[in-house]
Chains A and B, each alone.
Chain A
Amino acid sequence: MKKNKEKRNLFSIEILGIALGLLWIAPFYLMLVNAFKTKREIFSGVLGLPESLALENFKQAFIDLEFLKSLFNSVLITGLSIAVIILFSSMAGYALARNKSKLSGIIFFTFVAAMLIPFQSVMIPLVSIFGQANMLNAGGLVFMYLGFGCSLSIFLYHGAMTGVSKTMDEAAIIDGANRFQLFWYIIFPLLKPISVTVGILNTIWIWNDYLLPSLVLSEANATIPLKMFYFFGQYTKQWHLALAGLTIAIIPVIIGYFFAQKQIIKGVSEGAVK
């Protein structure tokens, strides 16, 4: 009797969940359905299914977004930034965790405190300084991502180091390894789980970043969000093309999410709770 009531309860919760889930993906559904319509069809109604599939929307959007080029730029900039952030932040997290002095405490605190500074507060002088140094380009952008990304990453690596025993260091030093070998061959592999978290958190942010690339990159080197902005401006009131472009732009993310959803959700939850 009681079991039955519980079962019925769970069933209604399940229904509620599915209803909410459908509501959640409705915007994506509406985007996709209308991306297949002609301009006239969208004008006469956005709720129905398309009469025929207007694949030329996608073709045109693909060309105008210079999609392969923007994708390449996004992959290159995000990939390089993540590699640099993981390598240098793990080294710093290790050094700060192993060297317990007052100075290293101050350095660690400075990195953590820098997280308080919103991007807009440094944006104008940053662009000015990097502009004068001729560094408003992809290389400069990667370096900027290191600067903005290292704080949280060092914080996470520093926390993870408490789980790595100091006897590892001692044994390796006795065996004749120098600090770089010790770090690279012994410590870094042990930090792999946290590297995954650091990589995921930074990828989500850097891949989607719009404002910083818009200040640094020219249209020829645009990443996907930046190119999307120009593209959208060109096609206001032409929703059939705009929606096809938006669909194309989010496909790489959906594919990535499909393959790594477990790690992504785990990484985000670890990053948020620590």
Chain B
Amino acid sequence: MNSASWLSVHNSEAAPLDALPVLSQVEFRQEVLSEIDAGARLAAFFGVPQPDETCRLILVLADDRSGSLALTSIEAHESYPALTPDCPQAHWFEREIAEQWNIRPEGHPWLKPIRFQAASRPGQTIWPETNTADILPSVTTFFQVRGAEVHEVAVGPVHAGVIEPGHFRFQCHGEHVFHLEIALGYQHRGIENALVGGPHKRTIHYMETLAGDTSVGHATAYCQAIEALADSQVSARAQALRGIALELERLANHTGDLGALAGDVGYLPTASYCGRLRGDFLNMTALLCGSRFGRGFLRPGGVGFEVESERVAQLLTRLDSTINHVAGAVNLLWETPSIRARFDDIGALTKETCRDLGLVGPAARACGLARDVRHSLPSGIFRDVQLPVSTCETGDVFARAYVRWLEIRRSAAFVSKQLKELPAGPSRSDVGPLLPRHVVAALTEGWRGEICHVALTDEQGRFFAYKVVDPSFHNWMGLAMALRNQQISDFPLCNKSFNLSYCGHDL
């Protein structure tokens, strides 16, 4: 790595904004591609408006081998040469930059809106077919396959179940799927724009509702960003408690996902037990802070609630019994041949595809990539406690299910150990004002995978840009690829095995 071209930092370490290099467009492209070639991956890539109405594009690389982050930037007025042709993981990031800032990534092979939102910067719209003022969701050209008997199946945005809105287009021949295109943006509610000028009294509530099922994960990344920018320390006790909440969130969601997968193949025992057991984990989180989703538990400087010893004892008892029940319910899955027949070889992705697309979380680990922020770029409690990374090799529905089960056991063991060894001390400390003109990238491993928040402060120490990358933003394309050459009836199963967030993507 050429150190003049990059600002190298640790996870959640603030740096002066002036230390962030600004490269020429040619240099930028070469540098990024060579680092990606060498094994780094794109954690974030986004636009930041400048006072003179130009835009600066900031790129964050995560390097799992060195355990560090590298940031760099370019100035972009109207266009820059796209990375996507040589780096598919930039695909959605570049569409987002085009949409938000009216900047054209020259040579992008699939340029179109991503959230169907109006640009945040005035100027010439880059969508020739649409007028930015009344851009409508899914009004765009979809990927098409032509040929005798090829047809298209369109579903959504309103789906059959109690789930979030999105629009799916399958190009098929009978049951056979050639490609699935996913159009999102229905949940777009403008959170990133609303964060500018903060932190203010709504900020923490936005963090907890970026993706409701990841309230703890996103709040963790936010708190880390704030604490780094305020140069404040968090007690060991608070770090442990945050880790417990994060892993309880993982336990609840993974358990729910295994139940949902069982339900999709009509295996009702596991489906109904896991549905309830997910609730038992949520209720443990509610024991901590009154909210099943962990609202109010994480606060800059520590945690919002003290956890007394009786509460710890009660949590331990509940955890013990719940995890036993989960084991009973989940093991039925692996022992039932008809389940294995439905999970094996369905929606398989290769390690290469996974790497090209930059997938994260259980979806990546199921392809054999040991990507886990808790391990390679640890923050908080995970700096002291090393969690083994759970991987599988086959990249199919089975692997995505099995990785979850491995993680359930490890998270439960972690929570139990942390509860038993909870350090004494304060659980919250004061956080002072934020450093002016600084930048920080805070990563945390949410249950769906890597969450990345990047905050930039102005002269007054207020946010002038705040970028959120939910793991789903990396992974939706993975689901689209997993569907290739599958049966259309395998969609629900593939979809649940990824279980991606719409709101976390749409923001």
Partners in one complex: no
